[in-house]
């Protein structure tokens, strides 16, 4: 008798192990789909403007950079997640409108060897000029024409406005106003330069991620969007010195100057994307199985039912299919809808099957209600990004406490010695007298 009980536990443990192997394969499928999604995003970036890196505008007097006494860069980003698509995948793009105000001291350009005026221009370095448009540069109230330069100084690509031919402008303090639109995908990076550089960014995206070399001094994030302000004189000074060194070639003249500077950045991310949430759900998969098998086992031991290992395996297969359904549906519809459809389908399937396995609607309904409650509870945990670990731990603790409470009076040694036989039945009390 004891041997039969031990074999049953061994078979259940083996099924749990096989279920774990199945979850490993599903987890690898999630990883594969996530990597493919990232590769599609990179392809979209190659065909459009990708992550944008912009350096605060500065003057070029010949080959020498001149930086502003003060700069105020204000940007407003219109973020969309359905503008650029490739099949079922879509990229998060931003159309950022930048308004830049700067002040410079008067400039006296040196004469060249031929007594010609040294060229003076204002440049706005941008990593991918395909995303730059509608540039407007006004100096002391006068608007100057702009042009694109893809092979400029210090290996930079930039928008340029020539101002050397206007001596009346250069011999007085310069108040420069720059307006332009910058289109990009995923993120916007701004490298401050000069003195008293301030950067302010705002947008309609509720899930910004602040990157770069300094966090915002002030920030606001709510359901309508975000706003953030930076002022970091150390980073601006370091960038200024790096550009001066590049102009003098005191250090290696790197073609990746954009990436070597200190940036203040915001990325437009989806913290609750399909693959992240599915991966989180998979982490609780084994718990689902243990609870399901444990419930079956309790019915066997406490209600004297007999459940075949194959029936355990079929229920485990239904639980396994849930994650495949979830992943495949979530790539096409919202995650909450995919989760609801997959959970509802699997709960109904298992409920229908357990109606016959557990021999009655009451037991089947109890099991289906338990499974549905687990799906609902874990979705609540998944939806709260910052507290999902804490809530998951509390939830698991409560489940364990419930199991310990329910089984507190079960005599497991008696079950080992007297397991229920397949054809065993109970006689009502008072009917145990012998027939004549």
Q: What is the pLDDT of residues 169-192, one digit of tens each?
A: 677 889 999 999 999 999 999 999
Rounded CA separation 246/261 (Å): 11
Average pLDDT, the chain: 84
Please tell me whether residue 171 adopts helix, strand or coil conformation.
Answer: coil
* CATH of region 51-268: 2.60.40
Here the tokens at position 143 are 């608007």
Residue 267 near residue 187, CB atoms below 8 Å:
yes
Higher pLDDT: 404 or 224? It is 224
Q: What are phi and psi of 386, to 5 degrees?
A: -80, -20
Q: What local confidence, expressed as pLDDT, does residue 198 receive?
A: 95
pTM confidence score? 0.78
For the chain, which residues make up each domain, given as ranges? 2-36+274-417, 51-268
| pLDDT tens for each residue of 131-164 | 999 999 999 888 999 999 988 787 888 999 988 6
Buried b (16+ CB within 10 A) or exposed e, 326-360: bbebbbeeebeebbbebbeebbebbbebbbebbee
Over residues 78-93, mean pLDDT? 84
Helix intervals (H) in 249-308 = 257-260, 274-282, 285-302
Over residues 51-78, mean pLDDT? 92
Higher pLDDT: 65 or 84? It is 65
What is the percentage of the chain residues whose pLDDT exceeds 70? 88
Residue 95 near residue 77, CB atoms below 8 Å:
yes
- Helix or strand holding residue 111 (H, E): none
Distances (CA, A) of 51 to 111, 335, 426: 40, 26, 73
Pairing of strands 132-139, 174-185: antiparallel
């Amino acid at each position: 008798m004891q041997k039969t009980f031990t074999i049953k536990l061994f078979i259940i443990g083996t099924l749990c192990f096989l279920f774990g192997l199945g979850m490993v394969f599903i987890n690898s499928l999630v990883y594969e789909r996530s990597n493919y999604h990232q590769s599609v995003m990179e392809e979209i970036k190659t065909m459009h403007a990708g992550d944008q890196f912009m350096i605060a505008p500065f003057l070029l007097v010949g080959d020498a950079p001149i930086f502003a006494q003060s700069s105020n860069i204000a940007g407003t980003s219109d973020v969309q997640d359905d503008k650029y698509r490739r099949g079922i995948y879509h990229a998060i793009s931003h159309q950022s409108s930048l308004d830049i105000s700067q002040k410079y001291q008067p400039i006296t350009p040196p004469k060249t060897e031929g007594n010609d005026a040294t060229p003076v221009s204002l440049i706005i370095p941008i990593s991918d000029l395909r995303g730059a448009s509608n540039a407007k540069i006004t100096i002391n109230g006068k608007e100057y024409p702009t042009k694109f330069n893809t092979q400029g100084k210090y290996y930079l690509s930039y928008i340029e406005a020539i101002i050397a031919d206007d001596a009346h402008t250069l011999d007085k303090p310069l108040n420069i106003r720059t307006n332009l639109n910058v289109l990009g995908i995923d993120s916007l990076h701004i490298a401050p330069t000069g003195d008293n550089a301030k950067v302010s960014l705002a947008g309609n995206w509720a899930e910004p991620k602040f990157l770069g070399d300094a966090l915002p001094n002030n920030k606001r994030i709510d359901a309508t969007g975000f706003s953030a302000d930076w002022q970091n004189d150390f980073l601006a000074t370091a960038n200024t010195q790096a550009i001066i060194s590049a102009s003098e070639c005191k250090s290696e003249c790197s073609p990746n100057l954009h990436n070597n500077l200190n940036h203040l950045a915001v990325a437009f991310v989806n913290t609750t994307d399909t693959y992240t949430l599915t991966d989180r759900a998979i982490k609780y998969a084994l718990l689902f199985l243990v609870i399901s098998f444990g419930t079956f086992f309790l019915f066997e031991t406490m209600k004297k039912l007999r459940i075949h290992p194959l029936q355990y395996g079929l229920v485990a297969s239904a639980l396994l299919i849930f994650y495949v359904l979830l992943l495949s549906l979530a790539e096409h519809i919202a995650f909450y809808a995919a989760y609801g459809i997959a959970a509802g389908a699997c709960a109904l399937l298992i409920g229908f099957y357990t109606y016959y396995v557990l021999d009655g609607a009451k037991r089947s309904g109890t099991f289906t209600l338990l499974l549905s409650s687990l799906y609902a509870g874990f979705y609540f945990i998944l939806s709260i990004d910052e507290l999902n670990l804490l809530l998951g731990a509390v939830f698991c603790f409560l489940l364990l406490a419930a199991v310990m409470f329910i089984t507190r009076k079960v005599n497991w040694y008696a079950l080992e010695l007297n397991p229920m036989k397949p054809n065993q039945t109970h006689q009502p009390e008072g009917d145990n007298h012998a027939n004549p």
